[in-house]
Amino acid sequence: MTALRPERESDTSYGQQSYGVPGAFEDWSGGGTYGASPRPEPQPQSPPSMSGPEQQPYAPQPEPFTPETYASEPEPYPASYEPVPDEPYRRPVVDEETVALRIPDPPPAAGDPMAASAGSSAARHDGPAHGGRAARRKASKRRHGRHGGASQTRPAQESAQEGRRAPLSRVEARRQARARKPGAAVVASRAIGEVFITTGVLMLLFVTYQLWWTNVRAHAQAGQEASSLQDDWANGKRNPGAFEPGQGFAILHIPKLDVVVPIAEGTSSKGVLDRGMVGHYAEGALKTAMPSDKTGNFGLAGHRNTHGEPFRYINKLTPGDPIVVETQDEYYVYKMASILPVTSPSNTSVLNPVPAGSGFTEPGRYITLTTCTPEFTSKYRMIVWGKMVEERPRSKGKPDALVS
């Protein structure tokens, strides 16, 4: 089988041309790249002159070409021919997407940011990726990972460099250990800081206990005492008379301040006041009258802050505000008369039968409320006085001050 070729410009047909005519016979096997066996290259010919084609005969002159001769007697190779060594077979790169013809991708536009980024990423590749776009994409993933392998390989390179470092000598290792060890000033500052932090935490816990937990516990104890007292009155278990220290015998009502607190005998902090109750001055020189007495001053003491703080807002009372003392048989209603904002803790004259500084000038039935001031301190005392205006038996019901 022969390949197609263009016709020669000659007046002689293909089969009638002589062998020596230029162009009559050529190696139609393609130079050995596509034919059966390689043939020696033809000798170069000098270009024809301008006068006309000049024939240069071969030496020796061959016989005229006939198809039978060529088919039966193969032309021998010249003596100078050396066989070309066989090269290893290289398989051509196959496009994974398609083996058909396709239109090449258009060149990226000048202002296209996606093309610029793609070009920059392609420029960073270690080598060219052969094949189609799928092959190039897979090669890029193998080299750099899916989300940028350059940044991921950097820690591995750094660890490899650290592994290649020479081991430290004992002197250098000790020097570096001493450099890493904190100094005395650093240790002292840390210890002082820990002490301050611990102290601050303890103070915070103490303040929380004083301002919050003591009130919770005192309110619970006072409420339990008031309920127990009212139950005893209803059952007739308590009789009027002398009371033991710490024993509850009455209930104080201050409607304006929403205060309902038991009154116990004595003014001790641990047995009475710290339990959220109000204490009656009934000991020694500070002993005061009872509400049932015909004349006298009924003196009470209570906390202004912490432990239930029943007297915290007595400074907000104004003249005419009711103060009610409830006992087993009677309701005693007082009207607030005057206030002494600040006085010395040693000023016991405020508990006299006719209290000094109250504005009262003659004996009567009075009430005196005492507490600490300013708030959260016990440096001074605040005094509030009231005068009895009504005595009402329990059988007649509650007074108007407690109903309205």
- Asked whether the predicted pLDDT for residue 71 surpasses 60, the reply is no
Q: What is the DSSP string of 118-158?
A: HHHHHHTSSS---SSHHHHHHHHHHHHTTTTHHHHHHHHHH
Model pLDDT, residue 105: 63
Tell whether the torsion through CA atoms of 155, 157, 161 and 163 is positive or negative. Answer: positive
Reported in sequence order, the residue ranges of 141-235 that DSSP labels E, i.e. its strands, are none
Model pLDDT, residue 175: 80
Contact in structure between 379 and 233 (CB atoms under 8 Å): no
Q: Over the stretch 153-174, which tens digit does the pLDDT of each residue have?
A: 565 666 666 656 667 788 888 8
Residue carrying the six token digits 């619970």: 220
Lowest mean pLDDT among 43-47, 129-133, 141-145: 43-47
- Integer Rg of the chain from CA: 60
Among residues 312, 255, 319, which one has the least CA distance to residue 278? Answer: 312
DSSP bridge pairs for 299: 368
Among residues 36, 39, 7, which one has the least CA distance to residue 24? Answer: 7
- Asked whether the predicted pLDDT for residue 328 surpasses 70, the reply is yes
Lowest mean pLDDT among 26-30, 233-237, 305-309, 400-404: 26-30
- What DSSP designation does 80 have? T
Q: pLDDT-derived band of residue 268, with 50, 70 and 90 as boundaries?
A: very high
Tell whether the torsion through CA atoms of 210, 212, 213 and 217 is positive or negative. Answer: positive
- Asked whether the predicted pLDDT for residue 255 surpasses 70, the reply is yes
SS3 219: helix
Half-sphere exposure of 294 (CA within 13 A, CB side): 0
Q: Pairing mode, if any, of strands 365-373 and 296-301? A: parallel
* pTM of the predicted protein model: 0.56
Q: pLDDT-derived band of residue 374, with 50, 70 and 90 as boundaries?
A: very high
Q: How far apart are CA 346 and CA 323, in angstroms?
A: 25
Among residues 98, 103, 19, which one has the least CA distance to residue 61? Answer: 19
Work out the average pLDDT over 230-256: 85
Q: How far apart are CA 260 and CA 384, in angstroms?
A: 17
Among residues 323, 326, 331, 305, which one has the least CA distance to residue 384? Answer: 323
Q: Which fold has domain 219-403?
A: Sortase; Chain: A; (2.40.260)
Model pLDDT, residue 77: 47
Instruction: Please give the residue that has the higher pLDDT: either 302 or 210.
Output: 302
- Asked whether the predicted pLDDT for residue 101 surpasses 60, the reply is no
Does residue 374 have a cis bond before it (omega within 30 degrees)? yes
Model pLDDT, residue 28: 42
- Asked whether the predicted pLDDT for residue 9 surpasses 60, the reply is no
Q: Which two tokens stand for residue 145?
A: 């990972």
Q: How far apart, in Å, do the first and last CA atoms of the chain sit?
A: 130
Model pLDDT, residue 82: 55
Q: Which two tokens stand for residue 115?
A: 């093309």
Contact in structure between 306 and 214 (CB atoms under 8 Å): yes
Q: pLDDT-derived band of residue 299, with 50, 70 and 90 as boundaries?
A: very high
Catalytic residues: 303, 372
Model pLDDT, residue 354: 96
Residue carrying the six token digits 């570096």: 176
Model pLDDT, residue 132: 74
Work out the average pLDDT over 221-246: 83
Cβ–Cβ contacts within 10 Å for residue 325, how many? 23
Q: Over the stretch 376-392, which tens digit does the pLDDT of each residue have?
A: 999 999 999 999 999 99
Computed over every residue of the chain, the mean pLDDT equals 76
Contact in structure between 7 and 26 (CB atoms under 8 Å): no
| Backbone angles phi and psi of 180, in degrees to 5 | -75, -20
What proportion of the chain, given as a percentage, has pLDDT over 70?
Answer: 61
DSSP bridge pairs for 383: 340, 370
Model pLDDT, residue 64: 56
